[in-house]
Structure 1
Amino acid sequence: MQHLYQPLPTGELLSPIHDAARHTRPTSGQTPLTINLVVASVASDDVSWTEELHNSIANLQIFRYVSDDPVAEYHPSIAKGREALMYFTYLYDHYESLADVNIFVHAEEHPWHLDGAMQQSMRFALSQLDLEQVMQLHYFNLYTSLKGGRPEGYNTTKTTDETDVAEEPFIAEAMRANFGEDITVPEMLIGPCCSQFAVSKEAIRSRPRSQYRHSMQWLTETDWPDQLTGRIWEHLWPWLFLHDQAVDRKTEWRTLCRMYRVCFSDSDDLQQYQAVWDERVKLLEKIGFGRELLRPWNVRKARMRLNDLLQLGRQLLLGALERGQDPEQRIVAGLDLTAP
């Protein structure tokens, strides 16, 4: 199944906004929480960007899991199960030595499955993430939007003849295999994709260590393909950590404000920013060296428009960052994350 969004070019997408965000990040004065960052990777991935997070996140430890390197310091027992097996390996092996907040991410610095308001930058997003709020929620998907998957959710009762969504007919069987034959499988699972999240130590330990061992074994022993098992687990993390929560649907602008300190005035304000972001992305996809040779005037016009969009986007985002400095605004916006 193809995602609705495609990977974006990274070289020109990031506005020079990281420094402004770093200077606006508030400090609580409390003892910093301990943070473990678990990075799911293959040997060829460049994860050097994670080291820069030490500049903005105190008490950070990085655990890079490498699926295809059996001599790496951290690796799964077998190169299988995509990021899910690496995550479960960490959860099982470090069950007794977890950090206060444990963050699970892919190796890409600029994944497509991250909000435009985060500049689609993991470094920016994690530097802005309010770790105290993660402790309150206990589980938080780093992607606030439902656009990357199916906003209407996944129906666990569908058969292969009733849906063209590859994983949908297999979710119920997978849930019973991982959580027990006697569980009540929800009809619908709704939430953001794509297996990048932060979770508290308490939420992890609300399940026995044997649960993580069991899911590791299922991933290594199943004859289902990796793409299928990986996609299924994208939908099951809230169920795992929040005990049978089938719906993880939050209002984007409220969530960005409470969790990332990026406070747009309302949904319309965020939509204006997102429209600017989307137009920039489309223009960048149209611009290339070959097109510049063939249609130089069109490309020059596109570049002028890009510059205008860059300035407008910066203005909107800096305003949201400034509003994010006001605790009262963040409290009001984030009081009910499901409100319009």
Structure 2
Amino acid sequence: MTWLFPHQSDTSPSRSRLSFLILGLTVLFLLISYQLVLNRELLGSVAEWATEKGFQTVGLDTPGNVTEDEAASLAAGASDSINITVPTSSGNPISSITVAPTETPSASPLPPREKELVLAAMLSSDMSWVDENIPEWYTNIYRADASPEQAELTVPANRGNEAMVFLTYIIDRYDSLPDVALFLHGGRYQWHNDNPLYDSVISIRDLQPAFVREAGYVNLRCTWTIGCPAELEPARYMRERPDDPDHISAVMFPDSFATLFPDIEMPEVVGVPCCSQFALSREKIHERPVEDYIGVRQWLLDSPLDASITGRVFEYSWHIMFGKPSQFCLDPHECFCNTYGYCNMTDEDLEAQWKWRGLVLPEGWPNVTEESNESSQKRSLAPMKGMPD
């Protein structure tokens, strides 16, 4: 056979060197490929470990070494990002990754409720009328004579009538108050409710929350009977110390007021429509620190005075406590319009809006006959100003 090139022996030195060169290059290529595979697996393992520990890879950074402090921070889920260096098999760093803790989403606080009822009741009080008629209001029913085991909401002691309930609610809910809180007695039909049926449901439904937010404090009663234009003369009673057994609360009011509100000048005249039912905005309550309310309630807990007196002290102090003048008797036309939306009322409308029926409504109200109503009026008729305690 004729060869294109001269025939050379297989054992020539040139042939052997070429074979070894090819073999060496092949081995080198395999080693480099294997090293790259190892590095990729190492990076993946580190990233996977960091993720399992609550970290996430956020990008490459400059080379560096992991210190003991950084390792401890990483294990503890520290908030600051740290660098992790990934070495090659030869010990030389090739890159580093920065890991940062995964942020756990925190639950956003619930927005405050728009409006809540605060009702002063007893264990025996039937409060079913609330949910049946005004479910749109969130309701807090305090059973003043109940132990914590007997009722969900109660008070430290049954003292001061509704005042203990109202103060306890303000203290307990100071940091989670609604936009508007409405403070009421527990009975549905009350002689002092300002509507022809004396019905709390009507008062609650027609109350104008926007006006409460604007005014801060709103008395639910617009009619001047009882309490206006003047009910107490604390400054004179403090100066003269008259003997007035028919008005014990008037006698006790000045000293009680001075203790409760030492930063307020003793008023000459106190006048406000009765009877401790009012609405407050959250901002108005927050004008006083919670410590003020705690101190006032403590006075109520410690006072040796009867509830008929301490309750009456608060009845004619709430409006002053919340920044209104001591004599706070509004024009009834304006009051009904702003408070309930009953605008353009005539004098005849005002007369029909509320009538004096005595301190106790006829038995079975509102399902009573006119005859029994008139009889009840005669039995319960009492002076409408300066009433005895």
Query: TM-score under structure 1 normalisation?
Result: 0.67
Q: 1:49 aligns with which of 126, 129, 137?
A: 129
Task: Indicate the SS of the match to 1:90.
Answer: helix
What is the SS of the residue equivalent to 2:339?
Answer: helix
- 1:249 and 1:280 map into 2 onto residues whose CA distance is 22
Q: Secondary structure at the match of 1:166?
A: helix
Name the structure 1 match of 2:143.
66
Mind listing any 5+ residue stretches in structure 2 that lack a counterpart? 1-110, 375-389
* Aligned with residue 253 of structure 2, among 158, 163, 171: 171
Structure 1 vs Structure 2 CA RMSD: 2.9
Percent same amino acid among aligned pairs?
29
Q: Report the 3-state secondary structure (helix = DSSP H, G, I; strand = E; otherwise coil) of the residue aligned with 2:182.
A: strand
1:53, distance to aligned residue in structure 2 (A): 4.5
**Alignment of structure 1 residues 80-99 onto 2, 5 Å:** 80-99=159-178
Confirm or deny: 8 A CA contact 1:111 1:122 kept in the other structure.
Answer: yes
Counterpart of 2:278 in structure 1 is: 197
Which of the pair has more CA radius of gyration?
Answer: 2
The 1:285–1:176 alpha-carbon spacing in structure 2 relative to 1, beyond 3 Å, is closer
Deviations 1:193-243 (Å, cap 9, x if unpaired)? 11110000011000110010001100000101111000110000011112x
Could you say if the C-alpha distance between residues 32 and 122 of structure 1 is closer, same or farther in structure 2, counting changes exceeding 3 Å?
Answer: farther
> 5+ residue gaps in structure 1?
1-30, 288-298, 307-340
1:65 is paired with a residue of what secondary structure?
A: strand
Q: Which amino acid aligns with 1:211?
A: D
Alignment of 1:1-340 (within 5 A): 34-55=114-135, 57=136, 60-71=137-148, 72-117=151-196, 119-149=197-227, 151-156=229-234, 157-158=236-237, 159-162=241-244, 164-180=246-262, 183-242=264-323, 245-271=325-351, 273-274=352-353, 278=355
Provide closer, same or farther for how the CA distance between residues 147 and 67 of structure 1 changes in structure 2, counting only shifts above 3 A.
Answer: same
Aligned length: 252
Q: Report the Cα distance in structure 2 between the residues aligned to 1:285 and 1:210, rounded to whole angstroms.
A: 42
Secondary structure of 1:167's counterpart equals helix
Q: 1:263 to 1:33 in 2, by over 3 A?
A: farther
Q: Secondary structure at the match of 2:131?
A: helix
Paired with 2:293 and 2:180, the residues of 1 have a C-alpha distance of 18
Deviations 1:80-115 (A, max 9, x none): 121101111111111000000011001010101112
Once structures 1 and 2 are overlaid, which stretch shifts more, 152-161 or 196-205?
152-161
Greater share of helix: 1
Higher relative contact order (CA 8 A, sep 6+): 1
Q: Secondary structure at the match of 1:39?
A: strand
Structure 1 letter corresponding to 2:260: N
Cα distance, 1:254 vs. partner? 2.1
Deviates more, 1:126-135 or 1:66-75: 66-75
Shift of 1:245: 2.2
Change (3 A) 1:85 1:254: same
Query: Residues 279 and 84 (structure 1 numbering): CA distance in 2 closer, same or farther, change over 3 Å?
Result: closer
Question: TM-score scaled to structure 2, two decimals?
Answer: 0.59
Query: Is the 1:171–1:232 contact (alpha carbons within 8 Å) kept by the matching residues of 2?
Result: yes
Kept in 2, the 8 Å contact 1:135–1:200? The answer is yes
Decide whether the 8 Å contact of 1:264 with 1:270 is kept in 2.
Answer: no
CA distance in 2, matches of 1:249, 1:256: 12
